[in-house]
Amino acid sequence: MARLLKFNIFRYNPQDENSTPRMQEFVLEETVNMTLFIALNRLREEQDPSLIFDFCCRAGICGACAMVINGRPGLACQTKTADMDPDITLLPLPVYKLIGDLSVDTGAWFRAMYQKTESWVHTTKVFDPTQLEERMDNAVAEQIYELERCVECGCCVAACGTARMRDDFMGAAALNRVARFVVDPRDERTDKEYFEVIGTDEGIFGCMGLLACEDVCPKQLPLQNQLGFLRRKMGITALKQLFRK
Query: Which residues lie near another protein (CB under 8 A)?
Result: 13-16, 32-33, 35, 44-45, 48-52, 54-64, 78, 80, 99-100, 103, 105-108, 110-111, 114-115, 118-121, 123, 125, 127, 129, 131-138, 140-142, 144-145, 148-149, 151-152, 184, 186
CB closer to another protein out of 4 and 61: 61
CB of 59 to another protein, least distance (A): 4
∠ at Cα 154 (48, 228), nearest 5°?
160
Identity of the residue, 2 or 236, whose beta carbon is nearer to another protein in the bound complex? 2
The minimum distance between CB 99 and another protein, in angstroms, equals: 5
Residues 154 and 211: beta-carbon distance below 8 Å = no
* Residue closer to another protein, measured from CB, 103 or 237: 103
CA quadruple 214, 216, 218, 220: dihedral, nearest 10 = 20
Report, in Å, the least distance between residue 241 CB and another protein. 27
Backbone dihedral region of 95: left (phi > 0), alpha (psi from -120 to 50 degrees) or beta?
A: left
* CB of 120 or CB of 243, closer to another protein: 120
CA–CA distance from 142 to each of 12, 109, 183, 203 (Å)? 43, 27, 11, 26
Nearest approach, Cβ of residue 130 and another protein (Å): 9
Which residue, 153 or 204, is less far from another protein as judged by CB?
A: 153
Nearest CB to another protein, comparing residues 121 and 238:
121
**Dist. CA 142–CA 140, nearest whole Å:** 5
Q: Nearest-5° angle of CA 5, CA 8, CA 11?
A: 140
Asked if residue 78 lies in contact with residue 218, where contact means CB atoms within 8 angstroms, the answer is: yes
Least distance to another protein, CB of residue 218, Å? 9
Q: How far is the CB of 118 from another protein (least distance, A)?
A: 8
The Cα 230–Cα 212 span in angstroms is 17
Per the document, the length of the chain is: 245
